[in-house]
Amino acid sequence: SKGFSKLAEKSMPSVVNISATTIVETRSQPFPFQFPPGSPFEDFFKEFEQNQGPQKRRSTALGSGFVIKENGTVITNNHVIQNAEGIIVRFTDGKEYEAEIVGTDPMSDVAVLKIKSNEKFPAVNLANSDKAKVGDWVLAIGNPFGLGGTVTQGIISAINRDINMGRYDNFIQTDASINQGNSGGPLFNMDGDV
């Protein structure tokens, strides 16, 4: 067997890294200890804590996604970009672009992004998932942490999986490894379609 190298080579340029920045507000406890009730310091430090106010910090979520249209339309998981104030899409060749959210569906954990550019991007096709069969070979590709693509292979283990998530319970189960940072990445059939 020649393995999956040709399929991976064809598909990887369309799989992107998603970097989403959010502002997280936290209330930090400045003192890792409590004063006993009635202590002369209790009121002083309670007042000090109240004047501290919430702390804001930037947090970055990393995930994967894939281009479905040459105009830069990208699909990823909703949890990767949820509450994002800024989104960067990074390709395997190192090029980066800002992106905006077009739409989200938290129930199915899907989000659609649009890259802010007039360039043409390598896109993949969507397959008819109704034609997937248990035992079919599949390839999962991700682009975690901006390090470039990762490829894992497996088979379709089951179809029509119901995991009690509501009206979208019709999942494809695979034994291809989905590593950290691969959230939002595509699952390909042997024709290179998602």
Residue 48 β-bridge partners: none
Residue from 44, 54, 79 nearest 65 by CA = 79
**Is 59 annotated in the active site?**
no
**Is 39 annotated in the active site?**
no
Q: Which of 109, 117, 157, 193 is catalytic?
A: 109
Q: Which of 5, 79, 93, 129 is catalytic?
A: 79
Cβ atoms of residues 81 and 104 within 8 Å: yes
Strands laid side by side in the 187-188 sheet? 171-174, 150-161, 137-142, 187-188
How many whole angstroms separate alpha carbon 160 and alpha carbon 155?
Answer: 15
**Is 193 annotated in the active site?**
no
The H or E element spanning position 43 is: helix 42-52
Q: Which of 162, 183, 191, 193 is catalytic?
A: 183
* Catalytic residue positions, numbered: 79, 109, 183
